[in-house]
Structure 1
Amino acid sequence: MARHVRPFAVTVLALAAAAVLAGLLWSWLSPRVPYQITERGLVLADPSTQALIAADGWFAVITGGLGLVCGAVGWYLGRRHQLAVLLGLCAGGVLGSFVTFWVGSTFTLGVVTVEAAGQPGVTIVPGVLALTASGVRVTWPLCAVGFFGLLEGMNGYRESPLRKPYGIG
């Protein structure tokens, strides 16, 4: 049991460290939603904006890509402790998604441009970076664990004696 704690912890910490960079990248690439300042507070300036969907899409692309990379690296490097690495990919992916969201929504990188058809005298400001589809937070662990399982299944099939049932070939 104790020998599996180290690979698990290393996997979780490596994914959390990668999540900081992923959050900064998400903040840099994602557009901000335009809001206008009214006497009622902030109101969505352009109801037909695609910026809400774009932020979710960039989050899914970044965390999904990292999930595939982490799954492949975890499978390749963690052959001796597969269960610990697999559980680390799952827990680290969940933690990584939350760290990515926190870093991306806290720090603003890149040029924040807001395009909206405002009326004269109306102040348009960029909104904070947020996720409207909270289900994209499972992209990282889902891709990491799924790709790890795919690679393990392909390797198991390739090495299986049942692949050549009669010893032919």
Structure 2
Amino acid sequence: MTAPLTPPHQPGPHDPWQAPPSGSHPAPSEGRTDNPDTATELRQAAVVLVAVALAGIVLGLLWLWLAPRVPLVSDDTAVFLKNSEGEEAIGADGTFVLLALGFGALSAAAVFWRLRRGGVLVVVGLALGSLLAALIAWRVGVWLGPSSDVVARAREAGRGVTFDAPLELHSVWVAVLAWPFAAMGIHLLLTAAFGPRDVEPDWSGYAGYYDGPVQGPLAGPGSGSSPSPPAGGDRT
């Protein structure tokens, strides 16, 4: 009579259900830093939101300085465009949009450079700050520009005297959303091109662990192992 090759209470050398050997877990990569926690990310997002929103004041001042003026003239009974074929009104919208796109690209690059490992909250702070900045820029330009009381200014200027129309946006939401869209697009491109990559874990500790055929009930027809003789083998 022959005894079983492997006692039932002792796992085989290649038991797939055996606990992995000590030190075989993936080794953490050297030099890798953990992502910031939620509290830190919230503070970073708040700083980004405020800083980007304050940049809207600069955009408003530049828009006031660079936007073309719309000349008006009065005949004591009504106010008319001095040049009915002029495109100064469209030029004001275009100037705002171009400046907003530039500021959006700059703000996205600055945020990515300072907070490359920032999470979703930082991106949300950038988006909200960009929208708020565009609204601030619009209101600053209107507030510091020519008065919106056209009738009073026409009376002050006198008959036949040219004066500037109020600075305004005709396509408000198109112009206001230019900054957020530019910021989100540039930040996404920078993250895809230069963002941090997850380092593959080191699985070298598992090398040679499952290097033999599986024994036991999981052994298939192609495992290459010969079946063990029963406990009560043939007697000779």
User: Do both share a fold (TM > 0.5)?
Assistant: yes
Residue 7 (structure 1) shift: 1.2
Residue matched to 2:175 = 136
Residue 88 (structure 1) shift: 1.1
Query: 1:46-57 to 2 correspondence within 5 Å?
Result: 46-57=83-94
Query: 1:91-110 to 2 correspondence within 5 Å?
Result: 91-108=128-145
Q: Is this contact kept in 2: 1:28–1:108, CA < 8 A?
A: no
Q: Is this contact kept in 1: 2:42–2:122, CA < 8 A?
A: no
Q: Is this contact kept in 1: 2:41–2:119, CA < 8 A?
A: no
Alignment partner for residue 121 of structure 2, among 66, 74, 84?
Answer: 84
TM-score (norm 1): 0.79
1:81-124 Cα deviation digits (max 9, x unpaired): 23122111110111000101111111149xxxxxxxxxxx5232
Query: 1:1-169 to 2 correspondence within 5 Å?
Result: 1-39=38-76, 41-108=78-145, 122-134=160-172, 135-155=174-194, 159=197
Which segment drifts farther, 81-90 or 94-103?
81-90
Aligned length: 150
Please state whether the residue corresponding to 1:23 is helix, strand or coil: helix
Q: Is this contact kept in 2: 1:75–1:82, CA < 8 A?
A: no
User: Given the superposition, is the C-alpha separation of residues 5 and 161 from structure 1 closer, same or farther in structure 2, using an over 3 Å criterion?
Assistant: closer
Residue 47 (structure 1) shift: 1.8
Q: Distance in 2 between matches of 1:96 and 1:58?
A: 16
User: Given the superposition, is the C-alpha separation of residues 76 and 125 from structure 1 closer, same or farther in structure 2, using an over 3 Å criterion?
Assistant: same
2:120 aligned partner, one-letter code: L
Please state whether the residue corresponding to 1:64 is helix, strand or coil: helix
Q: Is this contact kept in 1: 2:59–2:137, CA < 8 A?
A: yes
Q: Distance in 2 between matches of 1:65 and 1:10?
A: 21
Please state whether the residue corresponding to 2:194 is helix, strand or coil: helix
TM-score (norm 2): 0.58
Unmatched 5+ residue regions in structure 2?
1-37, 147-158, 201-236
- Is the radius of gyration larger for structure 1 or structure 2? 2
Residue matched to 1:166 = none
Q: Is this contact kept in 2: 1:13–1:92, CA < 8 A?
A: yes
Residue 80 (structure 1) shift: 3.2
Q: Distance in 1 between matches of 2:63 and 2:126?
A: 21
Q: CA RMSD in A?
A: 2.3
Q: Distance in 2 between matches of 1:38 and 1:149?
A: 54
Unmatched 5+ residue regions in structure 1?
110-120, 163-169
Q: Is this contact kept in 2: 1:27–1:107, CA < 8 A?
A: yes
Residue 73 (structure 1) shift: 1.1
